[in-house]
Structure 1
Amino acid sequence: MDSTTRFPDVMLLAAGLGTRLRPLTETVPKPLVPVGGIPLIERVMANARAEGAKRFVANAHYLPDQLLVHFAGGLKISREETLLGTGGGVKYALPMLHADPFFVMNTDAFWPAGSDAPLGRMIAKFDAEEDAEIVLLCVHPSRATGFSRSHDFCLDPFGRVTRDYGAPVIYGGVALVAKSVFADTPDGAFSFYPLIEAALERETLFGVALNAPWHHVGDAKGLADAEAALA
């Protein structure tokens, strides 16, 4: 990405209830749950801003006004009256996203501030591969906390995501996505994961490895492990 190119918009997946974390989430939406004193969503946004991101859209369902108040109106909110899932939520917000491709970032996973700058590498990979539809942030399992499976995919030496060739990796909750990926998707609730699977089958799915620790805060243990690692 050269200096004249605008950094892609960032879609923040922020509609989760967070009921598996701790009682605090009964009155606070999951993205605002603090980890080491900093809300999850702020950690994710800070990593994106450090690389040049300026425009953010977040979907919200549970206590959406708290996000608006927290960011003093500086974050665009796509309100979901009913939960639309990780795919449906992005599709519903597409009119608010001006860039193509754009980033989709989970707000329950992050890397420590200043430890790596993978988003620029993801943009470069997308630009370098003529057939790229999605570029995933990939995490080597040895760098991960809060993750129970062995791996999700493999990443081959050329940066193509495969099922069984290359280094085992975890999907790190960040994807650079072409808008065309959503062209034939249904309205309403659906998951983003089948879109990843479909790109894998078309051989249009690529990945970039994170060179830093990675923390997934999906439950109370993941929260405790992340706070212990950051202490």
Structure 2
Amino acid sequence: MCDHPTAVMMFAAGFGTRMKDLTKDQPKPMIKVAGKALVDHALDLTHGTGRVVANLHYKPQKLQYHLEVQGVETLIETPDILDTGGGLRNALPLLGDGPVFTMNTDAIWAGPNPLHLLRDAWNPATMDALLVCVPTAQTVGHAGLGDFTLAEDGKLSRGPGVVYGGIQIIKTDLLHDIEEPAFSLNLLWDMMQSNGRLCGLRYPGKWCDVGHPGGIALAEEMLEQHHV
């Protein structure tokens, strides 16, 4: 088993209900930001990281074609959506047994490639997961206090401080200890935290979660400022 990730799991199965009419006829990853589909912004980050796999569920046909012509392997979750943990476990035959990158497909990044930062910082001897975390002051359009507290030694605990940016490296062994077919990766994170092996990497740039229609304009403004 390889100790370093050689595959990327893209989560693209969600319903995108907060996007309202924008997802009436298409899945959320196909929504355009700065003239490019959200999923293509995510794909740009994966170059050079290995095999890319995506899970699909809501209105999958258009997205499946869009991804497969770019060399992405897809899995359609049916009849039910499996959430992040169940979706990752379902994709393991394509991803392999080692640690993998996982990434959400609804965030825009302005700064260094978060996948490359993770790859350089990953230490499988001391980490079961390494999450890219964005200080709240560097988030765009995010009103919360954060998902985690990031300690000086890089360990994560639940609490305010930094926002999980939706990209990580994670070991997949514990997926087989969960009986439910559909479950969140939060279950694995809690197990890893209890063992002192849930870690975070502070992102030096800016980040925008395009989780609602207003996030499109915010992300486009962030990108425009970044490229000036």
Question: TM-score normalized by structure 2?
Answer: 0.88
**1:7, distance to aligned residue in structure 2 (A):** 5.5
Amino acid in the other structure paired with 1:181? L
Matched, 1:185 2:175: no
**Structure 2 match to 1:176:** 169
**Correspondent of 1:75 among 60, 72, 75:** 72
More deviation in 204-213 or 16-25?
Answer: 16-25
C-alpha contact (below 8 Å) 2:133/2:163 kept by paired residues: yes
Amino acid in the other structure paired with 2:116? G
State the SS of the aligned residue for 2:167: strand
**Correspondent of 2:50 among 50, 54, 62:** 54
Deviations 1:83-117 (A, max 9, x none): 111111111111110261101101111303xx203
**Structure 1 match to 2:27:** 29
Amino acid in the other structure paired with 1:28? Q
Deviations 1:104-146 (A, max 9, x none): 101111303xx2033233233332x523111101101111123
Deviations 1:156-178 (A, max 9, x none): 222221346xx921111011011
Q: What is the alpha-carbon distance in structure 1 between the residues aligned to residue 100 and residue 141 of structure 2?
A: 26
Structure 2: tracts of 5 or more residues without a match:
none
Q: How many matched pairs?
A: 220
More deviation in 25-34 or 167-176?
Answer: 167-176
C-alpha contact (below 8 Å) 1:133/1:181 kept by paired residues: no
**Correspondent of 2:116 among 112, 117, 120:** 120
Cα 1:125–1:228 change in 2 (3 A) is closer
**Correspondent of 2:152 among 132, 157, 167:** 157
C-alpha contact (below 8 Å) 2:5/2:99 kept by paired residues: no
Structure 1: tracts of 5 or more residues without a match:
none
State the SS of the aligned residue for 1:142: helix
Cα 1:142–1:38 change in 2 (3 A) is same
Matched, 1:219 2:209: no
More deviation in 32-41 or 155-164?
Answer: 155-164
Q: What is the alpha-carbon distance in structure 1 between the residues aligned to residue 81 and residue 141 of structure 2?
A: 24
Question: TM-score normalized by structure 1?
Answer: 0.87
Matched-pair identity in %? 34
